[in-house]
A and B are shown apart, each in its own frame.
Chain A
């Protein structure tokens, strides 16, 4: 866990290996549970499992879906990592995604959208709007002590309804009654990196975001202060760090990432327009990514690669077999529970070992 520049590299390596073993162990347990559930509920369990585990890598199109998901999960994972490192449980990424997407849509559907600056203007507007939306629960906590969990969750619901409202009333629609705006002008849509797939500039944004967040957290004084506040807020306060400023700035920066994700969603190849409920619950998956990555920015994309594969496998299984994709919620919950607890791989064996030992004591007593 230590972020101190390790004098002894082998200790660092050991900790790293332990983390990996734990994550893999949690994944294996979660997948075993899924397999059991699928076998209990499906009429063609082998078919369903084949889809879950092999389908995402089967075709260029599905690999495109997978990579697109990696980029998005990385961004939401980073947004959660930033606030988790400061030990703030702001859950507002979903709201920031919607607000960012709304801001981006208003900009690119205005005359600016058809100029060469349309793309950049949309992304920047989204980041600014997201940052503002992340700032709100931060300042409410810092100035008033309002619980950030409740306020950020309420802001999520408000943002979703606001998006529904604005799409219906204030943005140009192709025809009356549909809940989707007209397509964004071509200059404002993120160009595809690989033709005919959903892999677009969003992937580059995600990679850059990983590096920027890593640099900010581990190579700047702001990052050091932020991590210090996260480890021990009182100690940080005593050593002269303004913990409220760090808190608010962490939540604002995280909001900017959420807003960026919103722009990547609506300006990306996936949509290229604003539609209601476009996000489909992806933002909250960042909690899992951040927890498994232990809020380390460089580990976030690695976790995202695995988790995106699972998500895509589940959704393909949903389309092609009789097992609903929502089974993945069970996997997610189990992984979070195991990884965030002090579960270790030998815990399971200990659990089994204890029972026979107790029985032995009892038989000895006789």
Chain B
């Protein structure tokens, strides 16, 4: 039992949590922006997966930041495509989202086989790059707390810092700018902004583009830092967990951060548990993030219902 406490309170475990949280957080922020504009983005999973593969393939030929931008760009494009079908051609947004997921599941394997010359499982024979970690070891020079700061703050991906900043940026955008007000208004009650002359479909289109770009960024982090290289279905439900995290985070950026941290922590548990307790079946450990998501969703829904009841609704 001592082992687990030592592991959980160690700096390495903290770094692992940040690493597992980052892709989830980016996707959750993406889901949040789309959800607040009233466009439920169920395609986060597929966008992440395509982002993963794009980033990996581009990183073979270009520097890492170009690859990250490519992952971001392809996600944004997919968001624009969803918006085109949902708002121009009036398709149901959920069905369009699942079409993107199906496209991602098949298309990535197809493209991977083309890029590797027949390998349908992994990109192991592609020389893909990693996102560099930010080295803050100079903090050790601070007397007293220096070494601890280094242990906790050094070694995170560039995108982890960006994701943390994006939580603030998304909050600022949503609650401190007129466009954020538009976006929330469109999601809350589209009739009113429509009457006020705000282009509802345009606002939703842009939020889907941003949503896709964030999910693609999450994919880049997953395939260029958490794991280096692409594996078939490597997102393994993270996009769907992010969808749950949006709801769990009470549709607020800070809530999204906390929810992503919660799921990231349990994913980190799933990473370290096999090493600690080898009697624990691997299948049950892999189930943890999904069970936690359902439990969190149910508990949150109970709480939300109670809040509604207290306000006298229903």
**Contact present for B305 and A330 (CB under 8 Å):** no
Known: A144-B302, A157-B237, A342-B91. A151 touches B247 (CB 8 A): no
Q: Is the CB of B281 within 8 A of A343?
A: no
Nearest-neighbor residue (CB-CB) of B283 within chain A: A165
Is the C-beta of B240 less than 8 angstroms from some C-beta in chain A?
Answer: yes
Residues of B within 8 A of A326 (CB): 106-107, 109-110, 113, 120
Q: Give every chain B residue within 8 A of A147 (Cβ-Cβ).
A: 243-244, 247, 297
Within 8 A of B (CB), among A291-313: 291
Closest residue of chain A to B232 (Cβ to Cβ) is: A326
B80-109 with Cβ < 8 A to chain A: 85, 89-92, 94-96, 98-100, 102-103, 105-107, 109
Establish whether residues A324 and B113, one from each chain, have CB atoms under 8 Å apart when the complex forms. Answer: yes
Interface readout for A138-158 with B: 1 if CB under 8 Å, 0 if not? 001000111101110111011
Is the beta-carbon distance between B297 and A89 smaller than 8 angstroms?
Answer: no
Interface string of B259-289 (1 = CB under 8 A from A): 0000000000000000000000101101100
Q: Is the CB of A329 within 8 A of B110?
A: yes
The chain B residue with its CB closest to the CB of A290 is: B95
- A333 contacts B100, C-beta separation under 8 Å: yes
Which positions 229-256 of chain B face chain A at CB distance < 8 Å?
236-237, 240-241, 243-244, 247
Chain B residues with CB under 8 A of A330: 103, 106-107, 110
Residues of A near B96 (CB, < 8 A) are 336-337, 340-341
A35 an interface residue at 8 Å Cβ cutoff?
Answer: no
Measured as residues with beta carbon below 8 angstroms from the partner, the interface class of chain B is 35 or more
A356 at the interface (CB under 8 A from B): no
Name the B residues within 8 Å of A140 (CB-CB).
Answer: 297-298, 301
B107 and A329 within 8 A (CB): yes
Q: How far is the CA of A333 from the CA of B94 in the complex (A)?
A: 13
CB-CB under 8 A for A150 and B85, given A157-B290, A327-B106, A340-B95: no
Contact A155 B294 (CB under 8 A): yes
- Output the nearest chain B residue to A42 by Cβ-Cβ distance: B114
A249 within 8 A of B: no
Residues of A within 8 A of B148 (CB): none
B291 at the interface (CB under 8 A from A): yes
* B99 adjacent to A337 (CB under 8 Å): yes
Chain B residues whose C-beta falls within 8 Å of the C-beta of A284 in the assembled complex: 102
B105→A329 contact, CB < 8 A: yes
Query: Do A89 and B94 contact each other (CB < 8 Å), given the known contacts A329-B107, A340-B99?
Result: yes
- Interchain CA distance A329-B301 in the complex, whole Å: 35
Which of A154, A288, A322, A333 interacts with B237 by CB under 8 Å?
A154
A155 to B301, CA, bound (A): 17
Say which residue of B114, B286, B294 sits within 8 Å of A154 (CB atoms): B294
Residues of A within 8 A of B304 (CB): 145
**Would you give the shortest CB distance from B95 to chain A, in whole angstroms?**
4
Of the candidates B89, B94, B100, B305, the one whose C-beta lies within 8 Å of that of A145 is B305
Q: Is A96 an interface residue (CB 8 A)?
A: no
Q: Is A73 an interface residue (CB 8 A)?
A: no
Inter-subunit contact A154/B107 (CB<8 Å): no
Q: Does A161 contact B (CB under 8 A)?
A: yes
The answer to whether B293 has its CB under 8 Å from any CB of chain A is yes
Roughly how many angstroms separate A41 CA and B110 CA in the complex, as a whole number? 10
A269 within 8 A of B: no
Q: Is the CB of A161 within 8 A of B99?
A: no
B305 touches A341 (CB 8 A): no
What's the least CB distance linking B308 to chain A, in Å? Answer: 9
Residues of B close to A41: CB separation below 8 A: 114
Bound-complex Cα distance A342 to B90 (A): 6
Min distance, Cβ A151 to any Cβ of chain B, angstroms: 6
Q: Which of B89, B90, B120, B241 has the most CB of A within 10 A?
A: B89
Choose one: B89, B100, B109, B298; the contact of A144 (CB below 8 Å).
B298
Q: Is A267 on the interface with B (CB-CB < 8 A)?
A: no
Which of A151, A162, A328, A329 lies in contact with B287, CB distance below 8 A?
A162
Minimal beta-carbon separation of A87 from chain B (angstroms):
9
Which of A144, A328, A343 is in CB contact (< 8 Å) with B106? A328
Contact at A144–B301, with CB atoms within 8 Å?
Answer: yes
Task: Check: B42 CB closer than 8 A to any chain A CB.
Answer: yes
Q: Is A281 an interface residue (CB 8 A)?
A: yes
**A169 contacts B by Cβ under 8 Å:** yes
The reply to whether B106 and A158 form a contact with Cβ atoms under 8 Å apart is no
A291 to B99, CA, bound (A): 11
Complex Cα spacing A341 to B97, Å: 12
Q: Which 9 A-B pairs have the closest CB atoms?
A: A329-B106, A341-B89, A341-B91, A333-B103, A165-B283, A144-B301, A336-B99, A326-B109, A326-B110
**A-B CB contact pairs (8 Å), 13 listed:** A41-B114, A145-B305, A147-B297, A153-B237, A154-B244, A165-B281, A287-B95, A324-B109, A326-B120, A330-B103, A330-B107, A332-B106, A340-B96
Binding site for A on B (CB under 8 A): 42, 85, 89-92, 94-96, 98-100, 102-103, 105-107, 109-110, 113-114, 118, 120, 236-237, 240-241, 243-244, 247, 281, 283-284, 286-287, 290-291, 293-294, 297-298, 301-302, 304-305
- Apart from A322-B118, A326-B113, A336-B98, list 6 A-B contacts with CB within 8 A: A144-B302, A164-B283, A288-B102, A324-B110, A328-B106, A336-B95
Residues of A bordering B, CB below 8 Å: 41, 89, 91, 140, 144-147, 149-151, 153-155, 157-158, 161-162, 164-165, 168-169, 281, 284, 287-288, 291, 322, 324, 326-330, 332-333, 336-337, 340-343, 347
